[in-house]
């Protein structure tokens, strides 16, 4: 199979319409919004719709995509799902939705039930409260992985046949592994390769410890995505090492490539990213490559 024919399911991307309308994105539209962890998000303050995604991905055989909630106003979490459902009806994209719901709030069961009722919704991304650094201490554990209400809400996902997109910084990976271990029936996928931002020996040791803990859990998979370094540049050799080690830990049948576009477009274009992914996996078998680029995501997000 030629590389340009390799079927791809992009397991993680975002869409938004910043014109006056039904949705508001505080992190993109509010004047006092904090800078994104990858730097100034000024380049992202533009509409990003199916036609823009397709233009970015035009040189690759993308046959399906998974939209992950894009942090619109949390009061609009159901509105975002409705909007994406309309986009799918008009454009055939996205193929599946990972929606948002808080897990620790009293209305969590109701919101989860409503999200699960949308045919395209396959899972939930609900970011727990985390520390700002490895050394920091949480002053309030409400909404964190230590919060009993949060853990109770997480268990509801199985009831609604939903998966969980796990997104935490590296220093919370081992804690996250404890949570995943407590929920063996819950399909979990770690977002963004566990955020290996710190490529120093110390930083990679911490990342590696957490990744090993999660890889030991059969119900946890991993997205090979967001390999950008804060305030840095796309680093082929460094990213190659991270990707190969992650695949070695989880196996090709538990890893899936994703673009995280347009966010990762702050540092790299879509073509460079996916050409690098293909080059990095050049030594894998055809079956393994199909798993990494298509089959793992199709199975996890029920796109077969």
**Residue 164 belongs to some domain of the structure:** yes
Half-sphere exposure of 178 (CA within 13 A, CB side): 6
Confidence of residue 287 (pLDDT cuts 50, 70, 90): very high
2: pLDDT confidence band, cut at 50, 70 and 90? low
pLDDT tens-place string over residues 246-263: 999 999 999 999 999 999
Is the model's pTM score more than 0.75? Answer: yes
Within the chain, strands assigned E span: 8-13, 62-68, 96-99, 121-124, 163-166, 188-190, 220-224, 255-257
Does residue 149 belong to any structural domain of this protein?
Answer: no
Q: Is the pLDDT of residue 274 over 80?
A: yes
- Does 288 reside within a domain? yes
Say how far apart CA 177 and CA 199 lie, in whole Å: 21
Evaluate if residue 90 carries a pLDDT over 50.
yes
Residue 105 carries which DSSP code?
A: S
pLDDT at 209 (0 to 100): 97
- What is the per-residue pLDDT across 107-131, written as a single tens digit (0 to 9) for each? 999 999 999 999 999 999 999 999 9
Helix 148-159, helix 108-116: angle, nearest 10:
30
In angstroms, rounded to a whole number, what is the distance separating the alpha carbons of residues 177 and 165? 13
Residue 143 lies in a domain: no
Residue range 266-277: mean pLDDT, rounded: 96
Note the pLDDT of residue 293: 98
Q: Does a structural domain hold residue 142? A: no
- Domain of 168? 3-136+156-300
Q: Which residues pair with 164 in a beta bridge?
A: 124, 188
**CA gap 242, 236 in Å, rounded:** 10
Kindly tell me if the per-residue pLDDT of 281 is higher than 90.
Answer: yes
**Domain presence at residue 235:** yes
Gap between the Cα atoms of 1 and 5, Å rounded: 6
Q: pLDDT grade, residue 42 (50/70/90)? A: confident
Mean of per-residue pLDDT scores for the chain: 95
Let me know if residue 212 belongs to a domain: yes
Query: What is the percentage of the chain residues whose pLDDT exceeds 90?
Result: 88
Flag the least confident range among 40-44, 52-56, 214-218. Answer: 40-44
Is beta strand 62-68 parallel, antiparallel or unpaired with respect to 121-124?
unpaired
In a domain, 49, yes or no: yes
Q: What is the pLDDT of residues 16-32, one digit of tens each?
A: 999 987 899 999 999 88
Asked if residues 101 and 77 have their Cβ atoms less than 8 Å apart, the reply is yes
Asked if pLDDT for residue 1 goes beyond 70, the answer is no
CATH number of the domain where residue 266 is located: 3.20.20.140
Length of the chain: 304
Helix (H, G, I), strand (E, B) or coil at 211: helix
Number of domains in the chain: 1
């Amino acid at each position: 199979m030629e590389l340009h024919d390799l079927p791809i399911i992009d397991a993680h991307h975002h869409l938004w319409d910043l014109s006056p309308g039904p949705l508001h994105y505080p992190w993109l539209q509010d004047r006092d919004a904090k800078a994104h962890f990858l730097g100034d998000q000024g380049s992202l303050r533009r509409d990003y719709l199916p036609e823009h995604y397709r233009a970015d991905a035009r040189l690759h055989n993308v046959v399906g995509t998974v939209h992950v909630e894009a942090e619109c106003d949390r009061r609009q979490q159901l509105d975002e799902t409705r909007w994406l459902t309309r986009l799918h009806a008009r454009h055939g994209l996205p193929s599946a939705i990972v929606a948002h719901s808080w897990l620790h709030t009293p209305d969590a069961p109701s919101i989860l039930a409503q999200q699960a009722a949308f045919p395209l919704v396959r899972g939930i991304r609900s970011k727990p409260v985390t520390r700002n650094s490895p050394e920091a201490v949480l002053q309030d554990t409400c909404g964190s992985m230590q919060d009993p209400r949060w853990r109770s809400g997480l268990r509801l996902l199985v009831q609604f046949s939903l998966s969980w997109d796990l997104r935490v910084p590296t220093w919370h990976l081992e804690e996250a592994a404890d949570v995943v271990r407590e929920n063996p029936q819950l399909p979990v996928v770690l977002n963004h390769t566990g955020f290996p931002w710190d490529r120093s020996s110390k930083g990679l040791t911490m990342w590696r410890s957490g990744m090993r803990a999660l890889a030991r859990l059969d119900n946890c998979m991993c997205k090979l995505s967001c390999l950008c370094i804060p305030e840095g540049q796309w680093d082929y050799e460094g990213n190659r090492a991270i990707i190969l080690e992650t695949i070695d830990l989880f196996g090709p049948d538990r890893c899936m490539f994703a673009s995280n576009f347009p966010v990762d477009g702050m540092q790299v274009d879509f073509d460079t990213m996916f050409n690098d992914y293909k080059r990095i996996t050049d030594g894998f078998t055809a079956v393994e490559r199909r798993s990494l680029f298509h089959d793992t995501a199709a199975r996890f997000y029920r796109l077969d």
